[in-house]
Amino acid sequence: MPAKLSVNLNAIAMLRNRRDLPWPSVTGLGAIALEAGAQGLTVHPRPDQRHIRFSDVPEIRALLDDRFPQAEFNIEGYPTQDFLALVDAAQPEQVTLVPDDPMQPTSDHGWDFITNREMLAAIVKRLKKGGMRVSLFCDPDVSEEQIAAARATGADRVEFYTGPYGGCYDDSEKAAKALKDLEKTAQLVHAAGLGINAGHDLTVANLPALARAIPQLAEVSIG
């Protein structure tokens, strides 16, 4: 089955937030993406609300419930108590847990699953009890031991951080090496029984090669 596309709305929200105006509309452009064939929407609300605002989350939930009930809502973030309360209220189909400091510009690394296994296991258990699929942000070149620790948390999937691959847009040799790292790690993840998502700096130009390298790819997040 081809990987599903979830459109990330953060950049749209960042444009809107430049001025105190309601456009571009986060839900309006989310609806356009879904009408065009996307299978889901992704947001990463941060404490400073510099792009997605907390108030956007229930509006996106309502859009999906009212007009696109077949689509999925994916909420990403570091698992603070405020973040967990937000996802408890929104009930997204998927929660993607990322290890970045809430104030850093963007996600740029995956979890150390061995060090954070117990903490993640408790949060994964809470979210899955609420009926949500859980994905954990993962570096593109981790060891088999790290993947085993990720599996031990009880998570359903990992999401590969594809920033290093996306950053090789002007160097085909480096891109091939980055792709090989992703392919190798994907084999470990698949063997461990985890699903595979991918996100960060993916485009219509570099996505086909990624999909060929990782046929098990379940979802990609672009935006």
Would you name the residues annotated as active-site residues? 44, 76, 200
| Residue 155 half-sphere exposure toward CB, CA atoms < 13 A | 34
Give SS3 for 43.
Answer: strand
Q: Tokens 């942000």 belong to which residue?
A: 137
Contact 134, 97 (CB under 8 A): yes
> What would you report as the CA-atom Rg of the chain, rounded to the nearest whole angstrom?
17
| Cα separation, 44 vs 98, whole angstroms | 10
Query: What are the backbone dihedrals phi and psi of residue 110, each rounded to the nearest 5 degrees, phi first?
Result: -95, 180
